[in-house]
Amino acid sequence: MSDDNPELDALRHRLAEHEGAYAAALDALDALAGFALADEARPGMEALRTRLNELCASAEPAPPARGRLASALGPDPWDVKRLAAAAARQQEFASVLVQLLNAYVAESGRIDAHLRDVVAALLRYLQRVLPLVDARDRVASSLSTTRAELILEAFDRRLESLSRRLQGLLALRDRVEAQGEEVRALRDAGAPSAPAAGRPAPSAPLPDLLDDAVYVAFENRFRGSRDEVRERLRPYVELFAGLAPVADLGCGRGEFLELLREAGVSGLGAETNAQAAAHCREHGLEVSASDLLSFLAARADGALGGVFAAQVAEHLPPRVLLSLLRESHRVLRPGGLLLLETVNPRSLTGFLEVYNRDLTHERPLHPETLSFLAAAAGFTDVRVELRSPVDPAAQLQPVPVDGLPARAAETLNENVARLNALLYGPQEYALLARR
């Protein structure tokens, strides 16, 4: 780690210096902590105190005053002896007291000097504590930062590895799903006969069937599950109440036809993808594996009450789209409804994330363009409904007005709203037109 982190190396060297100085100060303090007390340094002091107390206790009171006659006769020999003994005790008392005082003064000076050394050593010790603690904190902080960086680096490598594995698993999932559809297409193509297999003989060459199978897998991956698509299309069902039969052009897996059936509205579908059409028939839906114009051309004038197409119009070349609008107008009876759902190119999110994902898209259709073409084909009451709004949490957020001039905040948030409408507008729209 030192080769990779010279700053940490310098901190460690500095910490070692502070630890050495701290250890020396602590050793000096430890050495001064043990010293002899006065009685330990001078064992004779206790004997002097004992002797001094004995002399003090044996002192006799002064003799009583003698009368004039006794004083005239001269001193009493007994009193002289007593006075002599008292003087000797007094002299010994003074000597012992002086020795004891001298010993205490000497020991007091020695202890005072030692205490001064202890205080000086304690100050040196305390002066070393703070730098040592600071150095240790710096090293610990640097080590924590380094460990955190190493952990983050390892985590990033692990995350990158997991991301690669996840991408591999996602690719494997897509491949398995595509192969599953290809196997189903091959199984259908290899059916011995239509009556025995319960499904019509394949009308497309085998390579086309395999391409269709891959596109079915693509739609399974990006359009969502059958249940998700059903819930997204469910609001359209009530618009076709009383308009049976309803044709679903480009019906895909048949989710809308299933919803119509559940609502008691008869429906029939057309799907150019033979694999998807086969799936629909497996679910008991009436679906023709044919192109949309041929499907409509086979219907009599006014034979249908509704024509529905979700995510189909953007797949059609302009001439085919115009023909589809004219044929839809022809096959619808008066009051019949045409409903075309497509990607909203006025939403940058819808254009980038939805339209560009599908390589079979021919061109984006502006709502005003599709409305004009429908009116030109003879439809009336043409209107557009925006659908699939972007989650507000994913959009640009308004700026708080606190601290800003009112007009500036209002203008700024107006611009935010315009940007949201451009970048995060509804991702799809539905064209509704009456015959």
pLDDT tens sequence across 216-226: 555 666 567 78
pTM: 0.54
pLDDT tens sequence across 277-318: 888 999 999 999 999 999 999 999 999 999 999 999 999 999
195-204, 267-276, 324-333: range with highest mean pLDDT: 324-333
How many Å apart are CA 11 and CA 134, to the nearest integer?
11
Residue 166 phi/psi, 5° resolution?
-65, -45
Residue 431 has a pLDDT of 96
Give the CATH class of 194-434: alpha beta
Split at pLDDT 50, 70, 90, the class of 67 is low
* Domain boundaries along the sequence of the chain: 6-61+75-165, 194-434
200's tokens: 């019509």
Count of beta carbons in the 10 Å neighbourhood of residue 133: 12
Q: How many CA atoms lie within 13 A of 435 on its CB side?
A: 22
Residue 193 has a pLDDT of 38
Place of tokens 């199978």: 213
Among candidate residues 398, 394, 369, 399, the one with its CA nearest the CA of residue 384: 369
Residue 78 has a pLDDT of 58
Q: How many CA atoms lie within 13 A of 58 on its CB side?
A: 15
In 159-198, which positions are buried (b, 16+ CB within 10 angstroms) versus exposed (e)?
Answer: eeeeeeeeeeeeeeeeeebbeebbebbeebbebeeeeeee
79/257: higher pLDDT: 257
Residue 203 has pLDDT above 60, yes or no: no
Residue 188 has a pLDDT of 60
Residue 221 has a pLDDT of 61
Q: What percent of the chain has pLDDT over 70?
A: 81
User: What are the C-alpha distances in Å from 417 to residues 191, 243, 421, 424?
Assistant: 57, 40, 6, 10
180/13: higher pLDDT: 13
Q: What percent of the chain has pLDDT over 90?
A: 31
How many Å apart are CA 211 and CA 274, to the nearest integer?
10
Residue 198 has a pLDDT of 42
Residue 82 has pLDDT above 90, yes or no: no
| Residue type at 39 in one-letter notation | D
| Residue type at 286 in one-letter notation | E
How many Å apart are CA 413 and CA 58, to the nearest integer?
109
Split at pLDDT 50, 70, 90, the class of 234 is very high
Residue 388 phi/psi, 5° resolution?
55, 65
Residue 268 phi/psi, 5° resolution?
-140, 150
Residue 246 has a pLDDT of 97
Please confirm whether the linkage preceding 245 is cis (ω < 30° from 0): yes
Place of tokens 């898209």: 361
How many Å apart are CA 316 and CA 332, to the nearest integer?
20
Q: Kindly give the pairing relationship between strand 380-387 and strand 428-434.
A: antiparallel
Residue 1 has pLDDT above 50, yes or no: no
Average pLDDT across the chain, whole number: 81
Place of tokens 């009876």: 333
H/E segment holding residue 122: helix 77-189
Residue 406 has a pLDDT of 76
Residue 396 has a pLDDT of 87
H/E segment holding residue 323: helix 318-331
Place of tokens 């618009």: 239
Split at pLDDT 50, 70, 90, the class of 189 is low
